[in-house]
Structure formats: C-alpha cells, structure tokens
Amino acid sequence: MTAGGDLSVEHLSVRYGGVAALDDVSLRVPRGGVLGLIGPNGAGKTSLINAVTGVIRPYAGSIALGALRLERLPQHRVARAGVVRTYQNIRLFAALSVADNVRAGALRQPGDLDEAAVRALLERAGVPDADLRGRAGALPYGAQRRLEIARALAGKPAVVLLDEPAAGMNPRETGELRAVIRSLAASGAGVVLVEHDMGLVSAVCDRVVVLNFGRVIAEGTPAQVARDPEVIEAYLGSPADNVNGSSAVDSTASAAEKSNESASANSNGSSEA
Amino acid sequence: MLQFFAQHSKLIDEIGINALLALSLSISLRAGSLALAQAAFMGLAAYVGSIGAVRFGWNLLEATLAGAFAAAVVAAILALPIGRLRGVFLAIATIGFGEIARIAEINAPITGGAEGFSNIPNDAGTVAIYAALVATGLALALFGRSKAALALAATREDESAARGVGIDVAAVRLRTLVAGAIVAGVAGVLYAHANFFITPGDFGFPRMEQILVSCVIGGVTSSLGAVLGATLMTVLPEAVRFLHDYREVSTGAILLGFILFAPGGIAGLWERRA
Amino acid sequence: MILQQCANGIFLGAVYALFAIGYTLVFGVLDILNLAHAAIFMAAAFIALWLVGTGVTLPLAILAAVVFAGLLGVLLDRVAFAPLRRRNAGTLVPLISSIGAAIIIQGVFRGLFGPDERAFPAGALSTKQFHLGTLTVGALDLVILATALGLMLGLSYVLRSTALGRSIRAVAGDRVAAALLGIDLERTIALTFFIASALGGAAGILIGLQYNSVSPDMGGRIELKGLAIIVLGGMGSVTGAVIGAFILGLVETLAVAWVGSSYRDAIAFGVMFVLLVVRPSGLLGKRALRAA
C-alpha cells in the first residue's frame, strides 16, 4: 500500500503573464480513485498537471497530498512526496537502458531494484518482454509509453498523473492500458487521467472533471458528464450545429454506459484473457 | 624497461596529471553540465598550494589538501550564479570565470604575476601523481555503480524528467562541480610541485581546451576513456616531433577524425567491438 | 584627452565589431559557437602579410585575403559542420569540431610561417597622421575605420534588402520552416559562413595592420573577447554585436587611460559573466535561455 492521502486541489489559479491558464479549479482524487480530466485542447489540463507536480508555481490556491501542502515545493520534492507523472510527449531517459529507466523511477525509495523487481514493474505496466539492457529510446512507441508508466510505478507513488497515455495506441494496447490503470488504483494510488479517448475515460474513471478555458465546467460520473450540455457545447458547438442525426457525444454517452455494463460484468466473473 | 621509464619520466608525469584533469571534467560532463572551469580550479589550487609550500613550508600533502579545499570552496561559490545556465551559455560563463581567475592571478601581489611563481619544492614524483590518479579512478569506479551515478545519468538525459523522479538537479550539478574541482585542484598542486614553476598562462583557455579535447576523444562519459584520451593527447605531440611547427595539425586532425567518424570517442569504439 | 581616448576606443571597437559579427552570425543561424573563427582571423592576416611581401599592393592584398577567408569559412563548414548537421549532433559536438578545425588551421599556418611574430614590410603601411584640434589620428586608423564601417554597412544592406539576407534571417529564425518554404539550406549556410569568415578575416587583417604584428597566436585573445562582446550584444544579434563591440572598445580604452591596463581584459569577462547570470539575452539577443 502507498502512503500519502488524498490529492486535493482547491481554488487553483495559474497565470502566464496576464493570461489565466487555470481559474479557480478545485478537484479531489481519493486514494485508489481514478479521476478523469478532459476538455478541449488548450483547456488547461497540462497546466494543471504542471502545477500539481511543481513544474510551475500557481498564482493562487492550494494543492495538498493528505496533510502535506505541495504548491510551494520544488518539482523534485513533489516527486519525492510520491506525486509522479507521465508526459504527453514521452520523456524517457532515452540513452539509458530500459532497466535504468525503471530504476530511476525508484530513486526516491531507499535501496535499489534488482532485476526481478524491474521485470515485475515492466509486467505491471504491460511491457513484460522488453530487453532490460536495451536502449530505452530504441523501443517502439507504445512500449516507450508503457516504460514511462513503469518508471512512474517504480517509486511506489501516492498519486500518478497520466498525460494522454493512450495517444498513438491501438485498441488492443488501450485495453491493456485500462488494466494497468485499474491495477494502479487497486494498489492504493490515486490516478488522474488526462485523455481524449472517451472510451478509455468512461471505462476506468470513477469521476470526471471537465475543463474549458481554464475553468471547471462540469464534473460527475463519466455518463453524467457526457450528457452535460455545457460539455457538449465546449467540444462540439451547440447541438443545433450538428447536421447529422446522431452527434459524437451521443455515441460517447452510450459507450460510457456500455463499458460500465461490461465493467460490472467483469467484476462479477473472472477477467477475460 | 627501467631505462625507458627514466628517460620518459617527465612525459609519464604529464600523462598522469592530464589524466587527472580529464577525469575532473568527465564528472561534470556525466551530469550533462558543460562547466569548463577545471583549468581555473587547477590554477587556483596550484597557487594556493605553492604559496603555502614556499611561504609556510607546507609539505606536499598539506599543500594538496589546502589547494583542493580552496578549489572546492570556489566551486561551491561559483555554482550559485551559474546554477541556471545550460549548454553553450554555461560553457561561455565558465570560460569567462577562467579568464577572470587568470587575470586575478596575474595581478595578485603574492603570485609573482605574469612572470610566474617559482622555487616550488620539487617533491611531487611519479608515485604521488599516480597514487592520486589511481585513488581518483577507484573512487569514480565505485561511484559508477551507485544510485548517485544513475541520478547523474538521468540528469544528463533529461533534467525535467529527472526532477520528475525526485532528483534534486541543482544539488547534482553543485556536487559534480565541487567533486571535479577537488580532482582538478589535486592535479594543480601536483603539477606545480612537479614543475617547480607556474605562470597564470598555464591555467588559461588553452589548458581548458586541452582538457576538453581529452575528454571528448576518450568518450565523454567514460572515466577510462578520459584517461585514455588524456594519454593520447599528451603523447601525440611528442610522437610527431618530426612535424616541427606543423605538429598541431596532427592533434587537430585526430580530434576532427574522432568527431566525424567516432563520436563516442575511444570508449565508444571499444563498446562497438564488444 | 578624453576625446582622443574616445577616438581610439572607436577604432578598437570597429575592429572588434567586424570580428564579433562573424561569431554572432554563425551562432544566430546555426546555434553553433564557431571557435575556428579566430583561426580564420589569423589566417587572413598572414595571407595579407604574405601577399604584401610578394609585392602586391595593400588594397589588393586585403581584398584577396578577405576572399580567401570567406572561402576558408565555406570549407570549414563543409568539413567540420555539415556532416554533423546531417546526423543531428547537438550543440557540444560542433563546438568540439570547431576546436579541431581551429587547431589544424593554426598548425598549418604555424608550420608555413613559423611561430614568431611578424611585421608588415617597412613602407607598406602609411605612417601619416592627421591633427584635428586636440585629436591625433593616423591615416591607417582612418582606413581601418572606413573599411570596417564599409563592410558593416555592406552586410546590413545584404541582410535587409537582398534575397540572400532574407534567406539567412529565415534560417536563423526557424530552420525547419525555412526549408519547408523552399529555401536552399545548404547554400544559405555556406554563404553565411562565407560572409562571417570574410568579415572575421578582415578583422584579422586590420588588427594586424593596426598593431603591425601578425602571429599564429593572435587569435587567442580576441576569440575570448569576442565571446564577451556577443554575450553583451545578445547572441545571434548582429546589431547587438556591433553595439557591444563599440561599447567594449570605448570602455576598455577609457578604463586603461584612467585605471591602468592590468585589469583591462577583466572588464570584458566580468561584464560577460554578470550578464550571463542576470540577463543572458544581452542587449538585443533573441535567445533568452530557459532553465531546462
């Protein structure tokens, strides 16, 4: 189990010069919970991750992990407290070996990871066959993404923020990603998932927060959010603009319902291969 | 065998000192930090150690400790203003620092100025030099297996991602600068005591260039490579004596050859065979 | 008295500017610090010296040596930088490559001309002096200033008003975009090196004339001072380099007059260091650094 507590963000504002990238954003990620963070491009999702991980300093508001306040800590201290992330554009230590990348993730913990431990982490992240000694930069794209997740897991994090981890993945890989995220939450870490893939979001997230222009415009379960008129407008323009009969949001909402059904079906029986 | 050694003892000493200097730079380079201040640290330590030996009668060990300590202190202070600099800006700033140090050495009253400082006791023999080299090499080899070495490598690869896994990048850069300064300082004091005469010009940009070239030819992140590169760069000018004033061309050609065809340096070539 | 020092400072600044422009031009266009620039500076001075020695008139010798410097710069790029561009080698590697090239050039000229300092043959240089009120100005100084200003104006014209100038500025701004717009990258880069090296060579010739001294080591000091100038002016900014050069020339000359010469060089490096820490983009630089 991981220590740390819930991640709570309260009235967070982030400014670049005079422009507000985030304005009065509040959200909460309980231990073992999975929070989806969605919104059109430029809505402030990556700014939020940057603020939480200490890359940028917020203009106002607070970020806390349990009782520990994070908003004034430098980036490496936030990571040491157990808040880690993956990146939209993969940031592996490309010239280092696969094993070293995983070991690097565990630097904040005492001791070192042996080969067996590294293997186990790679398996958990869904890339069990990677050559431990191979160059991380030489891996195929999907494997690199999963190696980044393995690196994040290696430090036994309290909170993991995933920045569009499914980008560029095919449906099979995305399915494997679902399992990884679920197992992460099951181990007690809080997960924030920034994604555009609504199927994935609906499948794994307990709750979803929607950002637009730096503000929270909706929150709730995936199904609730998919039906929210403000969300629909943010993504697609007003419903009257849709010439076709069914809008993409309708299919998203039904995807959400379908995956909720299959999720409950899965939890009843044994998991499929 | 012994005769060869005696005939070439000056050269052998030079190799040892240049190897130490190359190692000192390689520490910073392993962290991805292009801090080109090792020649300056060498010079500062050389003057501290020499002045102490001549004025206060320090023996070699005392002079070396004092010199290395002085270099470490200066490095720790220097690390602060240059902390946010990277890449070519860092290189230029540290080169500038080197020039300021050199000019200070020329003008400070106790150093003897541009004509140099002499009468340094000639008590640094080959044994002392190679003892220091072996000790440094062992320390670096032991270090190489540690978690700290992984932190260095990660910092070199991607600083932001390194912070993201909890590495205190500023502390890494400070520590590598100070560690390199200590090694360069030891080399400086030994150099002074092996040559009994030093001038500020010994520790300027040409020296820094030489150290950098040794490291690059050896393979930027390899300790053994740094030593081999320094050996090659020290021996080469002697080996091509017959070229007289054209000597330098061979040095430049070898450097260019490595850059163009074997950018991993000697260490890279070795790894390719394996 | 001050007026005289200012005049001297301006003459010095003009030559500094010629040297610094080449440095900053290459950095601006390619993000490379070309440490072989000072070697070309030296090589051109020797070529001019040699030509004058064989009886060529001074203006022709200068012209030929400047062209030689330009061509040497193009060759330098072909051999030492272009292969690295093809393999995307980063910024440290070209720097080292330039050091290798500089060592080769220095070695060749040291071998050809010997390691000692040489002077121009007696009679080749005018010793005439003009007196304007309290000012004493040598004819040679005026020629040097005129040449330097002429070259700088010429460069300004090229950069502002010609297609080549536009290409250079485009490549300096965004190499990938420039290529996508159809600019011939390699040709633009080669021409940039020609111009930068020709100017650097001109600086070497003029300094050689001014102090009547040419030696294989003459590049050493100005190489580092040139760094200080382009940092002051803003790395990548040609106008900044010119302004920085004149400022430094004036400040150095005045400081020597008032404070004495032993710390003169420290001024340049002190200013440079402080600027890098406090305002790395210099006066006009476009490249503010970002902490990674």
* Helix (H), strand (E) at residue A113: none
Tell me whether residue B271 is in a domain.
Answer: no
Question: Is the model's pLDDT at A1 over the cut of 60?
Answer: no
- Give how far Cα A184 sits from Cα of A34, A91, A124, B54, Å: 9, 20, 9, 66
User: Please, which residues have CB within 8 angstroms of residue C150's CB and are 6 or more apart in sequence?
Assistant: none
- Which of left, alpha, beta for A210 (phi over 0: left; psi -120 to 50: alpha)? beta
Confidence class of residue A264 from pLDDT cuts 50, 70 and 90? very low
Please tell me the distance from the alpha carbon of residue B204 to that of residue C89, in angstroms, as a whole number: 28
Number of domains, chain B: 1
Please tell me the distance from the alpha carbon of residue B154 to that of residue B165, in angstroms, as a whole number: 9
**In this structure, what DSSP letter does residue A271 have?**
P
Strand A159-163 with A190-194, pairing: parallel
Average pLDDT over residues A176-192: 91
State the smallest CA–CA distance between residue B68 and chain A in angstroms: 30
Encode A197-237 in three state secondary structure. Answer: CHHHHHHHCCEEEEEECCEEEEEECHHHHHHCHHHHHHHHC
Cβ C244 vs Cβ B75: under 8 Å:
no
Confidence class of residue B273 from pLDDT cuts 50, 70 and 90? low
User: Please, which residues have CB within 8 angstroms of residue B261's CB and are 6 or more apart in sequence?
Assistant: none
Mean pLDDT value across chain A: 84
Token pair listed for C225: 């001072």
Question: Is the model's pLDDT at B236 over the cut of 70?
Answer: yes
Cβ A147 vs Cβ A122: under 8 Å:
yes
Q: What SS3 state is found at A269?
A: coil
Tell me whether residue B213 is in a domain.
Answer: no
Question: Model confidence over C60-91: pLDDT tens digits?
Answer: 999 999 999 999 999 999 999 999 988 877 77
Please tell me the distance from the alpha carbon of residue C67 to that of residue A136, in angstroms, as a whole number: 48
User: Chain C, 17-76: which have a CB under 8 Å from a chain B CB?
Assistant: 31, 33
Angle in degrees, CA B257, B263, B269, rounded to 5: 95
Confidence class of residue A263 from pLDDT cuts 50, 70 and 90? very low
A249 or B258, which is more confident: B258
Question: Is the model's pLDDT at B59 over the cut of 70?
Answer: yes
Q: Say whether C107 and B95 touch across the interface (CB within 8 A).
A: no
Name the one residue in this structure whose structure tokens are 């043959």: C121
**In this structure, what DSSP letter does residue B187 have?**
H
Strand A60-65 with A7-16, pairing: antiparallel
Global ipTM: 0.88
Tell me whether residue B268 is in a domain.
Answer: no
Average pLDDT over residues B239-251: 87
User: Which residues of chain A have a Cβ shorter than 8 Å from any chain B Cβ?
Assistant: 53-55, 74-77, 79-80, 84-85, 87, 91-96, 100, 103-105, 107-108, 112, 151, 155
- Give the residue extent of every domain in chain A: 7-194
Nearest CB among C80, C107, C276 relative to B246 is that of C107
Please tell me the distance from the alpha carbon of residue B85 to that of residue C222, in angstroms, as a whole number: 23
- Give the residue extent of every domain in chain C: 15-115+123-218
Question: Is the model's pLDDT at A162 over the cut of 50?
Answer: yes
Nearest CB among B86, B92, B263 relative to C231 is that of B92
Round to the nearest angstrom and report the end-to-end CA distance of chain A.
26
Q: What SS3 state is found at A34?
A: strand
Question: Model confidence over A84-134: pLDDT tens digits?
Answer: 999 989 999 999 999 999 999 999 888 888 899 999 999 988 888 888 899
Q: Say whether C97 and B263 touch across the interface (CB within 8 A).
A: no
Backbone angles phi, psi at B120, to 5 degrees: -70, 135
Give all chains having 3 or more CB-to-CB distances under 8 Å with chain A.
B
Cβ B244 vs Cβ B250: under 8 Å:
no
The verdict on domain A7-194 having CATH code 1.10.443.10 is no
Confidence class of residue B242 from pLDDT cuts 50, 70 and 90? confident
Average pLDDT over residues B164-183: 95
pLDDT < 50 stretches in chain C: 288-292
From chain C, pick out residues whose CB is under 8 angstroms from the CB of B86: 289, 291-292
Least confident range of A22-26, B147-151, C263-267: C263-267
Chains A and C touch (3+ CB pairs under 8 A): no
Token pair listed for C188: 């633009």
Encode chain C in three state secondary structure. Answer: CHHHHHHHHHHHHHHHHHHHHHHHHHHHHHCCCCCCHHHHHHHHHHHHHHHHHCCCCHHHHHHHHHHHHHHHHHHHHHHHHHHHHHCCCCCHHHHHHHHHHHHHHHHHHHHHHCCCCECCCCCCCCCCEEEECCEEEEHHHHHHHHHHHHHHHHHHHHHHHCHHHHHHHHHHHCHHHHHHCCCCHHHHHHHHHHHHHHHHHHHHHHHHHHHCCECCCCHHHHHHHHHHHHHHHCCCCHHHHHHHHHHHHHHHHHHHHHHCHHHHHHHHHHHHHHHHHHCCCCCCCCCCCCCC
Confidence class of residue B1 from pLDDT cuts 50, 70 and 90? low
Instruction: Please name the residue of chain A whose CA is at the shortest distance from the CA of residue B154.
Output: A93
Please tell me the distance from the alpha carbon of residue B234 to that of residue B19, in angstroms, as a whole number: 9
Please tell me the distance from the alpha carbon of residue C199 to that of residue C238, in angstroms, as a whole number: 12
Token pair listed for C29: 């266009």
Please tell me the distance from the alpha carbon of residue C225 to that of residue C216, in angstroms, as a whole number: 17
User: Chain C, 89-118: which have a CB under 8 Å from a chain B CB?
Assistant: 89, 91-93, 95-97, 99-108, 110-111, 114-115
Question: Is the model's pLDDT at A261 over the cut of 50?
Answer: no
Among candidates A102, A69, C62, C93, which has minimal Cα distance to B154?
Answer: A102
From chain C, pick out residues whose CB is under 8 angstroms from the CB of B205: 220, 223-224
Q: Give the distance from CA A105 to its chain's centroid.
A: 17
Q: What SS3 state is found at A88?
A: coil
Question: Is the model's pLDDT at B264 over the cut of 90?
Answer: no
Confidence class of residue B7 from pLDDT cuts 50, 70 and 90? confident
Chains C and B touch (3+ CB pairs under 8 A): yes
Preferred mutation among B245, B247, B251, B261 to probe C, highest tally of C CBs within 10 A: B245
**In this structure, what DSSP letter does residue A96 have?**
S
Confidence class of residue A266 from pLDDT cuts 50, 70 and 90? very low
Beta carbon pairs, A and B, within 8 Å: 66
Among candidates C214, C162, C232, C190, which has minimal Cα distance to C20?
Answer: C232
Token pair listed for C44: 């051109």
C273 interfaces chain B, CB cutoff of 8 Å? yes
**Range(s) of the domain holding residue B184:** 2-202
Our CA dihedral for A157, A159, A164, A169, rounded to 10 degrees, sits at: 40
Question: Model confidence over B100-112: pLDDT tens digits?
Answer: 999 999 988 887 7
C256 interfaces chain B, CB cutoff of 8 Å? no
